Structure 1
Amino acid sequence: MTATTTIPPVPGQPADRLRWAVVDSWTITRRELAHWIRQPVQIVLGLLFPIMVVLMFGYLFGGGMAVPGGGDYREFLMPGMYAMTMLFGIEASYAAVATDASRGITDRFRAMPMAGSAVVVGRSVADLLHAALGLAVMVGCGLAVGWRWHGGLTAALAGFGLLLLLRFAVLWIGIYLALLLRNPEALVALQILVWPVLFLSNALVSPETMPGWLGVLAELNPLSATVSATRDLFDNPGWGGGSWLGRYAVPLALGWPILLTAIFLPLSVRLYRRLDR
């Protein structure tokens, strides 16, 4: 007697298809979390890097930094470091998705009766959970070096929410680039491009000190909006300034990630579905 395996049909009703996609996405999320549990050293090293940067800026360079309007430099520094840590997600997403694609794992997933969006959505959920863990570690580091929020718990939670929203948006940029290039070696080129974005912002330097056109680009940087918004919500010292972009930092910190997600999420799902088998 031989046993036969029946592949379940694709659900026809929208509600059933949505439930199917959620279940499959959670399966992929669990796969990624299992990989992290089996490789704790990689996770620990990834968390230690931003802590090292905080200690370097806070204690090595902090004595020579003057905060406009006065205030503690480490309270000024930490919102920028939180936002910069969120931007590192584009590299982590790219590396994981590009590696799966180059090894044929993505093709195996596409050959299974899975929802077309499950692989990329599951990956983004896992990365967001990892980002929440990294943000918690960074907050602990900030508290240890003297950073505090002064705007109340609700405002602080809103600030943390904006940081995770930024991370969610850049995750989709990383996923899209990984599916487009499918080359893990291109991560080095991506890292070279990410660092100018990090420093062309108001995280460490005031845009008012830059040449006019460069200062405008720095203020238009989505990272700058999140940094300004979180400094306001945490009631930490900032650069000040009366520009329109500075006055509406919170709406921009919401709008930029939503716009980026609206562009790169559907592009990533469509590109995944069109990959060659």
Structure 2
Amino acid sequence: MNMKLTLIGIGTGNPEHLTLQAIRAINAQDLILIPRKGAGKSDLAGLRRAICAEVLSNDATRIVEFDLPVRDEAIADYRERVDRWHDAIAHQWQGAITPGARKVALLVWGDAALYDSTLRIAARLDPTPELEVIPGITSLQALTAAHAIPLNEIGAPFVVTTGRQLRDNGWPEGVDTAVVMLDGECSFQSLPPEGLEIWWGAYVGMKEEITRAGALAEVAGEIIAKRAEARARHGWIMDIYLLRKGGWRRFPAGN
């Protein structure tokens, strides 16, 4: 009998983001894997433990923690660097899965399909498990909710991209709205700020949530400073922002 691997979207760290489907899935497992990302990011494993402590009522479900490998930044080619890292993570998963466990789950920040590599790593397991994905609230949804703003203009498309893409290629063509994830360098600094507005959030959906919004030319410096301060205080940071062309428009519940 092949193992069934369930990837459970758990939102952005707030236990109230869990769906009823996610709670049922957590309680249906033989084994739940929790990655440890080092002392500087111990809060992330702690949040997963707290979620399990709050909703896990199945005494037969075991929790196993494992150390997440560090990506080798010495490898020059980005895709090769990521591929080797994913291989190493899959190897750690394989070693953490106890013999006889038929139903195994990982708790995935946000949703497993949006800028998350859990699905790609799962495909590296041997033998390939039966796969189930439970959708979760993403940081994109938590950001727009925190600022009480619509994601797109009426009838208009938008782009979800990364800081690397913004730095390397500039503003995405054909859209007035861009959501930027996985940006460790405040890549909005690479754009001419005139006519751009920004809605930024860090730790969105968590008790540590910080949000700022306004004309990019006016609030960019404050966002950079707040981000650096928060990262130094917590040892890690997850942030996301939405950029939109046009003059600054304050929504009723915006910042």
TM-score bracket, shorter-length normalisation: under 0.3
Structure number with higher helix proportion: 1
Q: Which has the higher strand share?
A: 2
* Larger Cα-atom Rg: 1
TM-score for the superposition, normalised by structure 1: 0.25
